[in-house]
């Protein structure tokens, strides 16, 4: 039986281990934390959103990034301090602008394909992850934003996604709790939301039942490979050990770039920090005042998910400031303020802040498949759509491993 090591225990690592185990491979997962899904897969926006498949590679994003540099609460914040990593990433980001339309359409296609797999796995393994299939409503306050969304809709449609424009009156009917004045919106009925942390942990239990060896609390200290084998050296906090495999899959999020360099591959992932708050809906009035339909406010780049009766997740912003994981108050405050403006009946007395680093490649597309060597594979670089794309990229990765046999 072919032995495969999977490095990373977030959503991509656990889904990858699941697909490989289902195909009869002997899989070992290495994760530096004591549990699965403790970093970027811990408290994201919750959206399974094909409607958010638009890649960021356009001049509009570049102009906004420059304009917002001096605003500490800007939706997109770029730390002006230069580094070769950041400069190379942005150079490649700009170089990918001609692929904007093609990549947006392809991402939508992948997101749609991912749904069936993810829902089937959850049903088969009995995973409760606060799934809500009530669609996602994109909201726009002005004509310019709405008109841009109409152009994006045509690209999404080419990828197979149906979403429709809605008037302010229709928006109110879709989500009656939403306050404020809006030009219009777009509604995608087929999109959904769920708790990524609960899902990943449910699937982590499933892979153990399938015979996957899970090595939590194991940090990879060395990694090497040749045409026939891969070697993984780890430290469990007390001692170091080394094992040999027929192949290794890198699913290490923002750590993938450093691991890839050990294997002779260039995977130019940059850590793009995102923030979220979980509003605890402790009273009945707040539960009634919070939305049940998921929202995406394009102007502020804020997304929302209702997780069960008692939690309201609000996430957003993109910050280019290296591997800094600090939770900054001036980045959290706009999220709380947004809730108070759009849902004034929700009590924000108890709000749990969080920040995570999204692993983004310059062209905004995930790296899935074989590396330079036939024993090395990648499933990483999903950016802001790791939750949305995870199921299909895990299947694609398993196909790549099968082809290499």
Confidence of residue 71 (pLDDT cuts 50, 70, 90): confident
Q: Which pair of structure tokens corresponds to residue 286?
A: 């707040």
| Closest among 151, 156, 113 to 136, alpha carbons compared | 156
What are all long-range contacts of 284-288, with beta carbons under 8 Å and residues at least 24 apart? 285/345, 285/347, 286/345, 286/346, 286/347, 288/177, 288/345
Cβ neighbourhood burial of 76 (10 Å; 0-12, 13-18, 19+): buried
What average pLDDT score do residues 140-167 get? 97
Q: Do the Cβ atoms of 346 and 279 come closer than 8 Å?
A: yes
Q: Do the Cβ atoms of 135 and 189 come closer than 8 Å?
A: yes
Strand partners, 320: 78
Q: Do the Cβ atoms of 251 and 367 come closer than 8 Å?
A: no
Q: How many CA atoms lie less than 13 Å away from 220 in the CB half-sphere?
A: 27
Other Cβ atoms less than 10 A from the Cβ of 197: the count is 21
Q: Which range, of 76-90, 287-301, 302-316, averages the lowest pLDDT?
A: 76-90
Query: Residue 341: what are its φ and ψ, rounded to 5°?
Result: -80, -45
**Percent of the chain whose predicted confidence (pLDDT) is above 70:** 100
The 3 state secondary structure assigned to 326-377 is CCCHHHHHHHHHHHHHHCCCCCCCCEEEEEEEEEECCCCCCEEEECCCCCEE
In this prediction, residue 43 carries a pLDDT of 97
Domains of the chain: 3-404 (3.50.50.60)
Average pLDDT, the chain: 97
The separation between CA 378 and the C-alpha centre of its own chain, rounded to angstroms, equals 16
What average pLDDT score do residues 287-305 get? 96
What residue has token string 């409503």? Answer: 137
State how beta strands 247-250 and 3-7 pair: parallel
Alpha carbon distance 245, 34 (integer Å) = 23
What average pLDDT score do residues 104-124 get? 98
pTM assigned to the model: 0.97
In this prediction, residue 1 carries a pLDDT of 81
Q: Which pair of structure tokens corresponds to residue 284?
A: 């009945």
């Amino acid at each position: 039986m072919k032995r495969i090591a999977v490095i990373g225990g977030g959503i991509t690592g656990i889904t990858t281990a699941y697909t490989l185990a289902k195909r009869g491979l002997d899989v070992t997962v290495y994760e530096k934390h004591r549990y699965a899904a403790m970093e970027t897969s811990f408290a994201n926006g919750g959206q399974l959103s094909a409607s958010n498949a638009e890649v960021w590679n356009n001049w509009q994003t570049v102009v906004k990034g420059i304009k917002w540099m001096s605003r500490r609460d800007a939706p997109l914040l770029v730390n002006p301090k230069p580094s070769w990593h950041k400069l190379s990433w942005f150079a490649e980001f700009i170089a990918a602008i001609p692929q904007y339309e093609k990549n947006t359409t392809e991402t939508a296609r992948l997101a749609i394909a991912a749904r069936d797999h993810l829902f089937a796995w959850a049903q088969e393994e009995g995973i409760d992850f606060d799934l809500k299939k009530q669609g996602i409503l994109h909201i726009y306050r002005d004509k310019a934003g709405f008109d841009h969304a109409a152009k994006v809709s045509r690209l999404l449609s080419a990828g197979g996604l149906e979403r429709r424009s809605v008037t302010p009156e229709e928006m109110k009917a879709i989500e009656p709790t939403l306050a404020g004045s809006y030009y219009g919106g777009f509604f995608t009925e087929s999109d959904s939301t769920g708790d990524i942390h609960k899902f990943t942990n449910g699937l982590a239990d499933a892979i153990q039942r399938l015979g996957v060896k899970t090595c939590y609390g194991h940090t990879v200290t060395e990694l090497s490979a040749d045409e026939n084998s891969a070697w993984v050296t780890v430290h469990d906090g007390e001692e170091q050990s080394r094992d040999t495999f027929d192949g290794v899959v890198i699913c290490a999020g923002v750590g993938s770039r450093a691991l890839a360099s050990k294997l002779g591959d260039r995977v130019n992932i940059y850590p793009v920090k995102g923030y979220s708050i979980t509003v605890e809906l402790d009273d009945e009035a707040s539960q009634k005042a919070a939305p049940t339909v998921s929202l995406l406010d394009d102007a502020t780049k804020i997304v929302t998910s209702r997780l069960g009766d008692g939690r309201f997740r609000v996430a957003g912003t993109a910050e280019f400031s290296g591997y800094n994981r600090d939770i900054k108050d001036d980045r959290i405050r706009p999220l709380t303020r947004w809730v108070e403006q759009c849902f004034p009946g929700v009590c924000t007395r108890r709000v749990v802040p969080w920040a995570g680093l999204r692993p983004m490649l310059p062209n905004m597309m995930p790296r899935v498949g074989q590396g330079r060597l036939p024993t090395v594979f990648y499933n990483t670089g999903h950016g802001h759509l790791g939750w949305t794309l995870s199921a299909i990229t895990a299947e694609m990765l398993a196909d790549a491993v099968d082809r290499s046999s």
